[in-house]
Structure 1
Amino acid sequence: MKGKTIEDICIGDKASLARTISESDIYLYAGITGDTNPAHINEEESKKSIFKGRIAHGMLTAGLISAVLGTLLPGPGSIYLGQDLKFIAPVRMGDTITAQVEVIEIINNKIVKLRTDCVNQNGEVVIEGFATILPPKNRGDL
């Protein structure tokens, strides 16, 4: 898989990937990060929350955006500079989330700004935001 260099990227370029969030994804993420908030791992406690049951970690879901940026657009060799996120709706076990990115600006012919959204299987936006990426300058950097 090859990434795009700054010369290959155009405003309007898009990429996406989908993944179904499993219970093991949530437990593995909790173990890796130490985020054992009951909202994610305790069914009985989470039933008392505003979500009325367990939800995936927001950053687990946002990680799908990182996967698109690092593997598809711009892809390998890219450097993630920043991300603004807004969590719109909860993600539950069994939801299929599609992370979508679109190039919206190229700054000084070296930094790429992308719209970054995640939607569930019903087309509902669960995360919206913007990323800034430094793509590779030339093929040797891929």
Structure 2
Amino acid sequence: MTTGYTFEQLEVGLSASRGRTVTEADVVAFAGMSGDYNPMHVDEEFASSTRFQGRIGHGMFTASLLSAVLGMDLPGPGAIYVHQTLHFKAPVRIGDTVTARVVVRELKTHKHMVVFDTTCLVRGAPVLTGEAVMMVPPRETAPAV
């Protein structure tokens, strides 16, 4: 089991990333889970007639890849999401490999909060940018002797 970082183990510039290729099954499953059956995601005929000229993945699915990095890698298990901003820059299509990356930008010692720059890339180009704030547990103090 991954234990995650304590607040004291983090430093500005520390980063982590994960990649995932978006599949047809991902889009269908996310539509079912979220209830978002927008034809931009699920209807090729409709989506082909739009400016995107075909289906695109759900933006929130792309954003959820950041949650995987933050929840499992950096800072990892035990940390709690407090805030996230998202700026969608370009569509993600079925077959695209998305790399979700987080970088520690700021440590707020008095609250054990960490600010991360968040980015999702496809072929090296940003498709999503933003900022996440996480509450990260401090190192447990030694019991009094």
TM-score (norm 1): 0.95
1:49: Cα distance to partner? Answer: 1.3
Which secondary structure does the structure 1 equivalent of 2:17 belong to?
A: strand
Identity %: 46
Which secondary structure does the structure 1 equivalent of 2:18 belong to?
A: strand
Which secondary structure does the structure 2 equivalent of 1:115 belong to?
A: strand
Does residue 17 (structure 1) correspond to residue 18 (structure 2)? The answer is: yes
The residue that corresponds to 1:118 in the other structure is 120
The correspondence of residues 29-68 of structure 1 with structure 2, limited to 5 A, is 29-68=30-69
TM-score (norm 2): 0.93
**Alpha-carbon separation, structure 2, partners of 1:136 and 1:129:** 23
**Alpha-carbon separation, structure 2, partners of 1:77 and 1:48:** 45
Larger radius of gyration: 2
CA RMSD in angstroms, aligned pairs only: 1.1
1:84: Cα distance to partner? Answer: 0.4
**Alpha-carbon separation, structure 2, partners of 1:79 and 1:119:** 24
Aligned length: 139
Deviation by residue 1:4-63 (Cα, 9 ceiling, x = unmatched): 000000001000000000011000000001000000000000011111100000000000
**Alpha-carbon separation, structure 2, partners of 1:119 and 1:19:** 11
The residue that corresponds to 1:87 in the other structure is 88
**Alpha-carbon separation, structure 1, partners of 2:14 and 2:20:** 21
Unaligned runs of 5+ in 2: none
The residue that corresponds to 2:7 in the other structure is 6
Deviation by residue 1:53-107 (Cα, 9 ceiling, x = unmatched): 0000000000000000000000000000010010000000000000000000011
